[in-house]
Amino acid sequence: MTFFEELRQERKQWWSRKDGQRLRASLDSLPEIESSFHVEAGRVCVGNTSNKNHKDQWLESAKNLIPWKKGPFQLFDQHIDAEWRSDLKWDRLAPHLGNIEGAQVLDIGCNNGYFLFRLAELKVAMAHGIDPVLPFAAQFELIHRASGLKNIKFDLFGMEHVDKWSEKWDMIFHMGIIYHHRSPVHQLLAIREALKPGGVAFIETIGIPGEDSSALFPPDRYARMGNVWFVPTLSCLMNWAEKAKFINIQVIADTDLTQEEQRLTPWCPPPSQSLTDGLDPLDPSKTIEGHPAPRRFMIKIEKKGGK
Ligand SMILES: C[S@@+](CC[C@H](N)C(=O)[O-])C[C@H]1O[C@@H](n2cnc3c(N)ncnc32)[C@H](O)[C@@H]1O
């Protein structure tokens, strides 16, 4: 067995844990439905609206999987309005994808796989999402089953496994991940190893304003998040990529993070927290801890060796 086959077997056992059993039961009891898939105004729509047999059971199961952090999805005629409007991030990214028909794409930390569904529409050979969080795997499975798509898949793997792939991927998405891990440059080196020569990666992150190449290393929380290590300026992010020996480093986005993009909704209700909870209510240019408020940066980078 290969490393990844063994890891897949090991991670399968997570479904036997207490929380896993609850999620499994909710998914396994779902009746078969006629699959359907399309994207409309940024919404990933699944479940055939002209054949609504079993709709109530499917919606009940989707409700059992609350909170939905990424979306939007539509299941039959029900809009699943997630905390994040991931379609807005997609709109920033999509014009820079180029022709990816037939490509092998990896999405690291894919959450429930919203971007995988958007990639499927572009006829990639395979969009493979990895994320080690079981409730997100369950959300992916529900939407995936209703979609009937064959060119996307999900595994409960993590960033720490990426360098086990060597020259495998044409494209890698690494979005909303770099600041959650303690070594930004090692992550970029792992991505470089996993990309084919000439392959490209999109690195998206929260960041702080400033012209200098520096990163905030919050002593405690950042915008109430406990697992934040380095929050770079844009110039620092580009410098990390350059030091990891990427070429053709392009800035794709440098934007404010707004409540249009991230907010609580009925599908991600309290006690989940969202953007406004992390900012100073009297001065939204600062986090609640007094650090600069997050911006969103995205860069496109290329591995040397392409034609
Ligand atoms: C801020 S979200 C970003 C989600 C998505 N990539 C996006 O841009 O909207 C961070 C994601 O990283 C996932 N994650 C947690 N631990 C991870 C790990 N070790 N490796 C990769 N992803 C991880 C979380 O489950 C979560 O879905």
User: How does pLDDT run across 155-164, given as a tens digit for each residue?
Assistant: 999 999 999 9
User: In terms of Cα–Cα distance, which of 188, 210, 214, 212 is closest to 201?
Assistant: 188
How far is ligand 1, taken at its centre, from the CA of residue 210, in Å? Answer: 26
Question: Hey, which residues does 253 pair with through a beta bridge?
Answer: 298
What integer pLDDT is reported at residue 213 of this predicted model?
97
What integer pLDDT is reported at residue 49 of this predicted model?
74
What integer pLDDT is reported at residue 174 of this predicted model?
98
Choose one of 180, 273, 275 to mutate for the ligand 1 pocket test, by most ligand atoms within 8 angstroms of C-beta: 180
The CATH number, out of the four listed (3.40.50.920, 1.10.3720.10, 3.40.50.150, 3.40.50.620), of the domain defined by the range 3-302 = 3.40.50.150
- State the closest ligand 1 atom to the C-alpha of 159, by its place in the atom list counted from 1: 20
Q: What is the mean pLDDT of the chain?
A: 95
C-alpha span between 243 and 237 (Å, rounded): 10
* pLDDT confidence tier of residue 208, bands split at 50, 70 and 90: very high
Asked if residue 52 has pLDDT above 90, the reply is no
Residue nearest to atom 19 of ligand 1 (CA): 158
Asked if residue 20 has pLDDT above 80, the reply is yes
Choose one of 84, 92, 177, 222 to mutate for the ligand 1 pocket test, by most ligand atoms within 8 angstroms of C-beta: 177
**Which segments within the chain are labelled E, that is strand?**
37-40, 43-46, 70-71, 73-75, 78-80, 84-85, 104-108, 126-130, 152-155, 169-175, 195-207, 215-216, 231-232, 247-256, 279-280, 283-287, 295-302
pTM of the model: 0.97
Choose one of 65, 110, 111, 118 to mutate for the ligand 1 pocket test, by most ligand atoms within 8 angstroms of C-beta: 111
What integer pLDDT is reported at residue 277 of this predicted model?
87
Asked if residue 258 has pLDDT above 90, the reply is no
* pLDDT confidence tier of residue 8, bands split at 50, 70 and 90: very high
Residue 100 has a CB neighbour count (10 Å cut-off) of 17
Mean pLDDT of 259-284: 91
C-alpha span between 253 and 281 (Å, rounded): 26
Per-residue model confidence as pLDDT tens digits over 56-89: 999 999 999 999 999 999 999 999 999 999 999 9
Which residue ranges have their beta carbon within 6 Å of ligand 1? 70, 86, 108-111, 131-133, 136, 158-160, 175-177, 204
How far is ligand 1, taken at its centre, from the CA of residue 307, in Å? Answer: 32
Asked if residue 53 has pLDDT above 80, the reply is no
Asked if residue 51 has pLDDT above 90, the reply is no
Alpha helices in 65-132 (DSSP H): 86-93, 114-121
More confident of the two residues 72 and 307: 72
What integer pLDDT is reported at residue 207 of this predicted model?
97
Classify residue 248 as left (phi > 0), alpha (psi -120 to 50) or beta.
left
C-alpha span between 203 and 47 (Å, rounded): 32
Per-residue model confidence as pLDDT tens digits over 170-180: 999 999 999 99
Percent above pLDDT 70 for the chain: 100
Mean pLDDT of 224-228: 93
What integer pLDDT is reported at residue 276 of this predicted model?
83
What integer pLDDT is reported at residue 239 of this predicted model?
98
